[in-house]
Amino acid sequence: MAHTVEKIGGTSMSRVNELRDTLFIGDLSEEALYGRVFVVSAFAGITNLLLEHKKTGEQGVYAQFAQSDTGHGWHDGLTRVADAMIAAHKSILDNPADIDQADDFVRDRIDGARNCLIDLQRLCSYGHFRLSEHMLQIRELLSGLGESHSAFVTTLMLQRAGVNARCVDLSGWRDEGDVTLDERITAAMAGVDPDTEMPIVTGYAQCAEGLMREFDRGYSEVTFSRLAGLTGAREAIIHKEFHLSSCDPKLVGEGAVRKLGRTNYDVADQLSNMGMEAIHPKAAKVLRQAEIPLRVTNAFEPGDPGTLIDDQPADTAAVEIVTGLDIVTLEVFEQDMVGVKGYDATILDVLRRHDVRIVSKVSNANTITHYLDTSLKTMRRVEKDIAAAYPSAEITTRTVSVVSAIGRDLRGLSVLTRGLQAIAEAGHEAIGATQGPRNVDVQYIVDRDSRDAVIKALHGALIEGAQAPLVKAA
């Protein structure tokens, strides 16, 4: 059997010492201990301090450096990062020698990054050089610090426990040359034998393509998938703090949700579209093309097989997941639109220029409506540009939610009709509803204040009320 490539997220990484005695080692025999390659994220909160807080937008070192006029505001930010890194590994490592090594590692990387930023700031004080031209590289440099630290600390912890672990740093720290992602991974893995050692690989990889240019903070899953593809893994595994389930248990209750057990990449893509990523869609594409199945497990329940995601169709038609997303509608009405080409292309061009993500869209003879995942601030700019292109058009926006029932095969289930009935019986109304011919999802547009109630009603009618089992066990 070939090896597996397994990814651990940042929240789980902060409890990596618990995973040592379960996921990494547990009761595995010497033979079963190896044949696994682990890709690690930074410890929880570290990337927020390095870049910006993912939810609140609070500035990290990156934003502080970009906006600094005096050159000193970001220094304190880097010091806070160093303190947070040291606190993180002190909560995980218990051997004084290991802690000293980790402390030295943090000082070396933080001091190196600080000197780099100072030199760049000094260089850009001359008119021939512009700081804005280097900010993407700075974002990549800072991102790599978190993953390099967590990989180094995890390796120390496992080595102390008797595991033949090896830290594989893809961050390009002080490396010469500009290599592609595939070249970076291939060179780093040369000489690594997963059958006799346990590679701990950084989720960030420095490469000519610049992972953050396209994926920003979703880069670790891209590294993970490319590593699996290039090394010929038999299975890719993502360890989360929860099971991939039929709904948010906070909405419908722990007893009502079902672990999926098995689904396919088509469903994974629909989840990504709804902002509920099992895996980044570009990473899923790599695994799918390489014919590598993906397994999503609960990191703290190592005996549970989790959910297997592959390219196989369902054995039985069923709704597998109900989820929702807050969106903004963009409705363009133009009486003269009938039979005239170009309206849709112009609107799409405006949305592309403003980097607005389209969740869904519908149209009729004189109206085009897009359901968008964006902010109202961005929508004001979009409206202005469309109004300039079509001065006589009526442009309206509205904050709503989309609730989607998703499954590998929805044929013959009357999901659209049953869903509308369930929404009405719960005392709510659907503003709109759509179902494509592929029969993998049905979307209901509802008022934002009724989103959670609609999710609960649909889950009860389409999943809890289903007579047949949802899926077969993986």
- Tens-digit pLDDT profile for residues 129-185: 777 788 888 998 999 999 999 999 999 999 999 999 999 999 999 887 689 999 999
What is residue 46's predicted lDDT score, i.e. its pLDDT?
95
Dihedral sign (CA 4, 9, 10, 13): negative
Mapping DSSP to helix (H, G, I), strand (E, B) and coil, where does residue 199 land? strand
CA atoms within 13 A on the CB side of 302: 14
Q: Are residues 48 and 58 in contact, defined by beta-carbon separation less than 8 angstroms?
A: yes
Q: Which residues contact 117 (CB under 8 A, 6 or more apart)?
A: 65, 74, 78, 138
The whole model's pTM is what? 0.87
Residue among 396, 413, 393 nearest 458 (CA)? 413
What is residue 473's predicted lDDT score, i.e. its pLDDT?
38
What is residue 71's predicted lDDT score, i.e. its pLDDT?
56
pLDDT band at 275 (very low <50, low <70, confident <90, very high): confident
pLDDT band at 468 (very low <50, low <70, confident <90, very high): very low
The DSSP H or E segment spanning 145 is helix 135-160
What is residue 341's predicted lDDT score, i.e. its pLDDT?
82
Residue spans of beta strands (DSSP E) within 278-320: 294-298, 307-310
The length of the chain, given as a count of residues: 474
What is residue 84's predicted lDDT score, i.e. its pLDDT?
97
Residue 418 CA to residue 433 CA, distance in Å, equals: 12
What is residue 70's predicted lDDT score, i.e. its pLDDT?
53
CA distances from residue 325 to 400, 403, 425, 426, 443 in whole angstroms, order as listed: 9, 6, 22, 19, 11
Residue 318 CA to residue 469 CA, distance in Å, equals: 8
Q: If 0-12 CB within 10 Å is exposed, 13-18 middle and 19+ buried, where does residue 140 land?
A: buried
What is residue 58's predicted lDDT score, i.e. its pLDDT?
86
Mean pLDDT of 322-328: 96
Q: What are phi and psi of 167, to 5 degrees?
A: -80, 125
Q: Which residue has the tokens 């991102």?
A: 143
Mean pLDDT of 295-310: 92
Mean pLDDT of 337-365: 92
CB atoms within 10 A of CB 363: 13
What is residue 346's predicted lDDT score, i.e. its pLDDT?
95
Residue 390 CA to residue 334 CA, distance in Å, equals: 8
Average pLDDT of the chain, as a whole number: 91
Mean pLDDT of 95-106: 98
Percent of the chain scoring above 70 in pLDDT: 97
pLDDT at 213 over 90: no
Q: Are residues 113 and 62 in contact, defined by beta-carbon separation less than 8 angstroms?
A: no
Residue 7 CA to residue 39 CA, distance in Å, equals: 5
What is residue 216's predicted lDDT score, i.e. its pLDDT?
79
What is residue 55's predicted lDDT score, i.e. its pLDDT?
76
What is residue 316's predicted lDDT score, i.e. its pLDDT?
93
Residue 190 CA to residue 326 CA, distance in Å, equals: 45
Q: Which residue has the tokens 């009618």?
A: 461
Residue among 411, 402, 407 nearest 443 (CA)? 402
Residue among 263, 373, 369 nearest 325 (CA)? 373
Strands 441-446 and 394-406 turn out to be antiparallel
User: Per the structure block, which two tokens stand in for 449?
Assistant: 């204040």
CA distances from residue 113 to 79, 106, 124, 360 in whole angstroms, order as listed: 11, 11, 16, 42
Percent of the chain scoring above 90 in pLDDT: 74
Side by side, which strands form the sheet with 235-240? 165-168, 198-202, 36-40, 4-8, 235-240, 294-298, 307-310, 262-264
CB atoms within 10 A of CB 420: 17
Q: What are phi and psi of 366, to 5 degrees?
A: -135, 15
